[in-house]
């Protein structure tokens, strides 16, 4: 059986996209995702997007990480979904549409310049919202965590999915391939957590590296960029709007206390293709 797909990338975060016409079953896709996303034996991607809906009133997005797990939300993925629907003529340029995600409905808009704007919801700071261990109404803010032989200061929050943010003097010196998985699986976070290290460049610019829950080292993370900007604004080192620079590209984040986060950035169609499911085998 052959399936059609499209490949998109948002700030270097790349996805294999299936829409409703592909009719691939979710469980089949979940089992195949690790090999589909593999850079040498598969198509290669950070994850898979399963898009539903054929009209602006019934749009849905599910995300499957490269390891087969399913996160609640993905900002770069949602921008790619909006770009795909615009290319397919499902949505109109300049109009805002609601998309149902695992984190609830999110509003998106493709503007005439080609930029894509997302309203990402109100951040959650309570431990019960992240989730993190400890008293549910308390925040996980400026906590000290031991990693290797060092101690780092971190804050955690939810952008519809969990994030751990650490501001450091030099993100290039952070051994993210070692610290990322250790922090992702910290016992403080029962559902694991995305990990961002950030370095302030100015009051309106910050650089970031990310270890994504379920995908590992990636070139960008939309919800992670929001988490970094929000944390920096709360701590007083950043002022909205914030440009977040990542290895794969830059996005802009706007936020004020108590409001929704607005994320703006690009999404690009890379190529279209098809494959025979018999050619792919789930890893043993």
Catalytic residues: 74, 221
The CA distance from 70 to 15, in Å, is 14
Query: How many CB atoms sit inside 10 A of residue 57's CB?
Result: 8
The CA distance from 45 to 66, in Å, is 7
The CA distance from 13 to 118, in Å, is 16
Do 13 and 6 contact (CB within 8 A), yes or no?
no
HEC string of the chain?
CEEEEEEEEECCEEEEEECHHHCCCHHHHHHHHHHHCCCCCCCCCCEEEEEECCCCCCCEEEEEECCCCCCCCCHHHHHHHHHHHHHHCCCCCCCEEEEEECCEEEEEEECCCCCEEEECCCCECECCCCCCCCCCCCECCCEEEEECCEEEEEEEEECCCEEEEEECCCHHHCCHHHHHHHHHCCCCCCCCCEEEEEEEEECCEEEEEEEECCCEEECCCHHHHHHHHHHHHHHCCCCCCEEEEECCEEEEEECCCCCCCEEEECCEEEEEEEEEHHHCCCCC
């Amino acid at each position: 059986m052959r399936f059609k797909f499209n490949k998109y990338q948002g700030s270097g975060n790349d996805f294999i996209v299936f829409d409703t016409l592909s009719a691939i079953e979710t469980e089949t896709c979940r089992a195949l995702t690790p090999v589909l996303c593999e850079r040498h034996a598969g198509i290669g991607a950070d994850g898979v997007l399963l898009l539903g809906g054929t009209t602006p009133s019934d749009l849905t997005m599910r995300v499957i990480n490269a390891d087969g797990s399913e996160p609640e939300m993905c900002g770069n993925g949602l921008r790619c979904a909006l770009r795909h629907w615009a290319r397919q003529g499902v949505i109109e340029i300049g109009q805002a549409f609601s998309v149902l995600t695992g984190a609830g409905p999110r509003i998106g808009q493709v503007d005439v310049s080609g930029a894509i704007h997302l309203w990402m919801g109100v951040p959650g700071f309570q431990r019960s919202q992240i989730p993190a261990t400890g008293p549910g109404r308390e925040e996980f803010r400026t906590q000290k965590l031991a990693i290797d032989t060092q101690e780092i200061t971190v804050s955690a929050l939810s952008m519809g999915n969990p994030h751990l943010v650490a501001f450091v003097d030099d993100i290039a010196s952070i051994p993210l391939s070692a610290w990322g998985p250790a922090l992702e699986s910290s016992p403080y976070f029962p559902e694991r957590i995305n990990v961002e290290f950030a370095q302030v460049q100015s009051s309106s610019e910050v650089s970031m590296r990310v270890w994504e829950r379920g995908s590992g080292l990636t070139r960008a993370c939309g919800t992670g960029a929001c988490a970094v900007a929000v944390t920096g604004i709360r701590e007083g080192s950043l002022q909205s709007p914030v440009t977040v620079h990542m290895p794969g590209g830059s996005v802009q984040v706007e936020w004020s206390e108590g409001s929704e986060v607005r994320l703006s950035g690009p999404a690009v169609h890379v190529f279209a293709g098809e494959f025979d499911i018999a050619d792919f085998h789930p890893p043993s």
